Amino acid sequence: MAVWTVQYARNGHCKLQKRICYLGCSQLAWQRRDDDIPRLRMGVRRGRYGRVKSVGFIRLTYAIEMIDQIYKRNGADVPLEVAMIDGLGIFNGKVQEAFWRNKDTARFEIWDCIADAAAARNIYIHPGFHGGKAQWCCEKTVIATWAQSHPNVVPMSLSNELRRAIDEDDHTSTIGYNWISLVGNYTVATDAMHFANPNILVTGSGMQSAQDLSVLTSGLNLNPAPL
């Protein structure tokens, strides 16, 4: 696995002067501390897939910004080194090793390697939209189309861990979050995914960071849904 190494990760800052808490590839959010990185590298070398085979699937999370970047590049994916520099800044680290190919390997090429290796071990893949920017987005066709090349990619999620839409100017109030916006956006997104890949299983999410389904199943007001 390509690793973005930061010498002082716990005290480091990205180019936006935000503290670096996560390291990794793809979504730049592999939830491990810097002292775990060597073990992650060795784990990939030795084949850690066997440890997750009992679970039966691997969840590949992505931010919607990842898809936006592909559209801005006229359909071309972003090389790993470019993604790392964009996320962490050019002075915060370097691509130390790239077990897949090299620093110019695109992000979906890494996904291909993961999906193929998982398929060889009868492990399913679940691409999950895991935030990115706080906004609605129905553009799912890129991931759904990618999944056509990998028969072990069975489900794919809509917006994950739903929360109330908080008014940025007044954090005690919510705006524009109702059944029309929820079901409307979910329907458009599902239709787009189904058009790109009619065999994909579309999954949704509960409220309260995907912990509560009561509001969704009972059809109540979404705004006072538990946080």
CA-nearest of 127, 132, 137 to 200 is 127
Residue with more model confidence, 32 or 159: 159
pLDDT range class, residue 34, cuts 50, 70, 90: very low
91 falls within a domain = yes
| Three-state DSSP state, 219 | coil
pLDDT at residue 44 greater than cutoff 60: no
Residue with more model confidence, 180 or 76: 76
225 falls within a domain = no
Check if the beta carbon of residue 108 is closer than 8 Å to that of residue 82. Answer: no
pLDDT value of position 189: 84
108 falls within a domain = yes
For residue 175, the tally of other CB atoms under 10 A from its CB is: 14
What is the pTM assigned to this prediction?
0.59
pLDDT digits over 157-211, tens only? 777 666 666 655 666 666 656 777 777 888 888 888 888 888 888 887 766 666 6
Non-local CB neighbours of 8 within 8 Å, separated by 6+ positions: 34
Which residues sit opposite 30 in a β-bridge?
A: 23
224 falls within a domain = no
115 falls within a domain = yes
Q: Tell me the pLDDT of the chain averaged across its residues.
A: 65
Of 29-33, 64-68, 97-101, 169-173, the one with minimum mean pLDDT is 29-33
Number of folded domains in the chain? Answer: 1
Q: Which two tokens stand for residue 26?
A: 């793809």
Residue with more model confidence, 34 or 140: 140
Residue range of the domain that includes 69: 4-218
- What average pLDDT score do residues 17-32 get? 36
pLDDT value of position 89: 66
Which residues sit opposite 207 in a β-bridge?
A: 212
pLDDT value of position 134: 35
128 falls within a domain = yes
227 falls within a domain = no
User: Residue 147 burial by CB count (10 A; 0-12/13-18/19+): exposed, middle or buried?
Assistant: buried
125 falls within a domain = yes
pLDDT value of position 11: 36
pLDDT at residue 95 greater than cutoff 60: no
User: Residue 2 burial by CB count (10 A; 0-12/13-18/19+): exposed, middle or buried?
Assistant: buried
User: Residue 153 burial by CB count (10 A; 0-12/13-18/19+): exposed, middle or buried?
Assistant: buried
User: Residue 68 burial by CB count (10 A; 0-12/13-18/19+): exposed, middle or buried?
Assistant: middle
